Chains A and B, each alone.
Chain A
Amino acid sequence: AQSVTQLDSQVPVFEEAPVELRCNYSSSVSVYLFWYVQYPNQGLQLLLKYLSGSTLVKSINGFEAEFNKSQTSFHLRKPSVHISDTAEYFCAVSDLTGAQKLVFGQGTRLTINP
């Protein structure tokens, strides 16, 4: 079984500042890793994912995450945030077989202040 821990429930930052949202996971088997974003009153959208290959993955809107197998982490970073990045962010893992059910972390609410 897998588990995911998002270490911060809320992260307030100023606009144009850098941000890191932390995610650690636990699993006895290899996993896929995901970050989803939920804007207010919307469903979840895939932000980025790690399946294999390069451990650094990037999204189209400037976020990136690095898979660190030794530290079982998949932290999300952005060098300069915008007001529109205000949302809740969920880290998730799945195993590689079957229906590939997702196990989610508790979520991190990112608030960008002007």
Chain B
Amino acid sequence: DVKVTQSSRYLVKRTGEKVFLECVQDMDHENMFWYRQDPGLGLRLIYFSYDVKMKEKGDIPEGYSVSREKKERFSLILESASTNQTSMYLCASSPGDTQYFGPGTRLTVL
């Protein structure tokens, strides 16, 4: 079974803090993705990576950056957290046509 793990299920941070969300997959997948999920909006793609050190912006990259130093790990970084980044963050990995999701991190920015 594919396993995608995320470092925290719940996280509370203060405005202006730097926040790291970590995602690890154990299936040697080339592609990894970060989404945010908000009620009524579905999932929106923030960034994705198709190889180590390679990244591309998704639909809503503003306020976020990413890092992929190793194939199995994809990190989402909020350089200076703001209240409008309070959301559920979902990581996924994919070998090609199908994405497999982690359990999500519910981030609250106060």
Contacts and interface: CB of A to CB of B under 8 A. Distances in A.
B97 interface: yes
B90 A106 contact: no
B94 A99 contact: yes
Contacts of B101: 36, 43-45
A7 to B, nearest CB: 13
B61 interface: no
A98 interface: yes
Query: What bracket does the count of chain A residues touching chain B fall in?
Result: 20 to 34
Contact of A44 (B45, B56, B58, B90): B90
Contacts, number: 60
A32 B42 contact: no
A106 B40 contact: yes
Interface in A69-112: 90, 92, 94, 98-107
B48 interface: yes
Contact of B48 (A43, A90, A101): A101
Interface in A1-15: 4, 6, 9
Nearest to B4: A43
Contacts of B96: 100
B35 to A, nearest CB: 8
Contact of B42 (A43, A45, A98, A104): A104
Contacts of B94: 99-100
8 contacts: A34-B98, A36-B101, A46-B99, A49-B98, A94-B97, A100-B94, A104-B42, A106-B42
Interface of B: 4, 31, 33, 35, 40-45, 48, 50, 56, 58, 90, 92, 94, 96-104
